[in-house]
């Protein structure tokens, strides 16, 4: 085990989390969201940390397991119905506020920065979505694309922690509709898979000062305008030719060209042509039809030596900013968002929700996202505590380590704010959970055994 520097506070973990979600903030927010109208048996602070951190290793995040975790932490015996009734619209509103607050806190405490190779850019953001199958009863609230009821989670994850967003949609929502482009993309590089491929969105990213890298859609056939960088191979004149016409003829290992594409756009009163460092765009009004936009982007291709086929990427990052080889290599960083989904599904039980109640489903999804945010906040903090090991805190290894110890962290967080274990905690818990609530039920051994009166 590595030695711990003396300057590190032994209460670092609980202090970070209680600063992130202070008891005062949690209670005030619960009241404002309509989750808590008056003081009740269920304390919002204890409840929050139980649902976010109180799961056991290997346990499904069922309401029954969460109720038992709450009873263990609070030394309160709860009637199941009173606990289940807390998973309502008020809780959904409360958890949404908590998620927004947590993401804001997470993005303000970064532990990584981009390398010199990406100097001048703000962050590298991987966008993607994943599908969660739901109970068929929820087909009306969350209509699916493949199954009857599905829920889509969309994330945009900044690799340095500067930008992170999470949103929920019905399963049939197209990926392109989950991506909101605005001023926030300025100086960021966005990485997309083919589900997000749309020229109009790429244009909006450029117009907002942002950058993107995307795999080229198989059906796309842009016109080559010019060669940006000549690489070893055959010297075919590419200008003015369609990509699909010349691609089978090429043998060079790397393609780096400027291509022209056109797509439907908004109406324009006059023709407009502009040029920037990554291409040009032109708007014109065809006769009696929808206006079209013409733009040029950079197309990069890297030959796969085994398949003898090109991996093609479209981008607006200039050749002065990154070489063609680096653009292709950069796209591989999109795998990081897949690790986020693996963390949500395999560890935080996001894909094991059997309830048919909409509020319960949405609450449990939000809870899993909050667990992810809390986990990454601690990951950032640990990287800052041990900067020499920062790159060795890999996301999936961290997630597994965090998951295994989360209930212990919960206990320390609650203790730090004065919610300590009751000396009778275990006795109270087993008196409530270990006893069959059906008083008059006939039991197999009742005719043959009786209790020993220890008080006699």
Q: What are 166-179's pLDDT values in tens digits?
A: 888 999 999 999 99
Nearest to 127 by CA among 95, 99, 97, 167: 167
C-beta separation of 223 from 244 below 8 A: no
Q: Is the pLDDT of residue 267 over 50?
A: no
Query: How far are the Cα atoms of 37, 60, 160 from residue 44, in angstroms, in the given order?
Result: 11, 22, 32
pLDDT of residue 61: 56
How far is the C-alpha of 321 from the C-alpha of 279, rounded, in Å? 14
Q: Where is average pLDDT lowest: 191-200, 271-280, 400-409, 412-421?
A: 271-280
More confident residue, 249 or 212: 212
User: What is the rounded average pLDDT of the residues 108-137?
Assistant: 90
pTM score = 0.78
Distance CA 111, CA 126 (A): 17
Beta-bridge mates of residue 153: 130, 168
User: Nearest to residue 268, comparing CAs of 286, 287, 291, 289?
Assistant: 291
pLDDT band at 288 (very low <50, low <70, confident <90, very high): low
Lowest mean pLDDT among 57-71, 226-240, 363-377: 57-71
Instruction: Check if the beta carbon of residue 268 is closer than 8 Å to that of residue 291.
Output: yes
What is the distance, to the nearest Å, from the Cα of residue 14 to the centroid of all Cα atoms in its chain? Answer: 24
pLDDT value, residue 274: 55
The mean pLDDT value for 395-423 works out to 85
Closest CA to 368 of 398, 338, 397, 341: 341
CA dihedral sign, ordered 278, 279, 283, 289: negative
Q: Which of 445, 433, 338 is nearest to 72 (CA)?
A: 433
């Amino acid at each position: 085990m590595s030695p711990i520097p003396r300057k590190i506070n032994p209460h670092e973990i609980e202090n970070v989390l209680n600063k992130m979600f202070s008891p005062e903030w949690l209670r005030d927010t619960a009241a404002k969201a309509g989750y808590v109208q008056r003081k009740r048996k269920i304390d919002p602070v204890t409840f929050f940390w139980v649902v976010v951190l109180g799961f056991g290793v290997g346990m499904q995040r069922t309401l029954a397991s969460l109720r038992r975790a709450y009873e263990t932490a609070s030394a309160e015996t709860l009637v199941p119905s009173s606990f289940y009734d807390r998973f309502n619209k008020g809780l959904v509103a409360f958890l949404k506020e908590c998620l927004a607050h947590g993401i804001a806190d997470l993005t303000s405490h970064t532990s990584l920065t981009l390398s010199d190779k990406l100097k001048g850019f703000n962050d590298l953001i991987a966008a993607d979505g994943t599908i969660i199958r739901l109970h068929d009863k929820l087909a009306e609230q969350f209509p699916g694309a493949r199954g009857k009821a599905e829920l889509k989670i969309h994330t945009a994850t900044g690799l340095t922690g500067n930008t992170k967003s999470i949103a929920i949609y019905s399963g049939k929502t197209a990926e392109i509709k989950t991506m909101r482009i605005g001023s926030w993309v300025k100086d960021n590089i966005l990485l997309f898979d083919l589900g997000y491929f749309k020229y109009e969105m790429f244009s909006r990213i450029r117009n907002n000062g942002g950058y993107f890298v995307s795999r080229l859609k198989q059906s796309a056939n842009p016109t080559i305008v010019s060669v940006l960088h000549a690489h070893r191979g055959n010297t075919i004149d590419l200008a003015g030719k369609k990509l699909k016409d010349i691609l089978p003829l090429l043998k060079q290992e790397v393609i780096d060209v400027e291509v022209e594409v056109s797509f439907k756009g908004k109406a324009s009163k006059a023709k407009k042509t502009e040029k920037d460092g990554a291409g040009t765009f032109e708007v014109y009004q065809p006769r009696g039809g929808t206006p079209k936009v013409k733009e040029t982007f950079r197309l990069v291709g890297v030959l796969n030596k085994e398949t003898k086929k090109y991996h093609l990427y479209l981008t607006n990052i200039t050749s002065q900013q990154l070489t063609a080889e680096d653009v292709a290599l950069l796209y591989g960083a999109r795998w990081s968002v897949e690790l986020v989904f693996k963390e949500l599904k395999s560890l935080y039980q996001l894909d094991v929700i059997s309830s048919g109640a909409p509020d319960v489903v949405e609450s449990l999804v939000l809870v899993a996202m909050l667990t992810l945010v809390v986990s990454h906040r601690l990951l950032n903090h640990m990287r800052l505590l041990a900067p020499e090991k920062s790159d060795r805190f890999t996301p999936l290894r961290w997630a597994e380590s965090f998951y295994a110890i989360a209930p212990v962290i919960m206990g320390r967080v609650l203790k730090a704010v004065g919610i300590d274990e009751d000396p009778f905690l275990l006795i109270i818990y087993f008196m409530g959970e270990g006893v069959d609530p059906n008083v008059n039920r006939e039991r197999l051994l009742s005719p043959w055994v009786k209790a020993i009166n220890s008080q006699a």
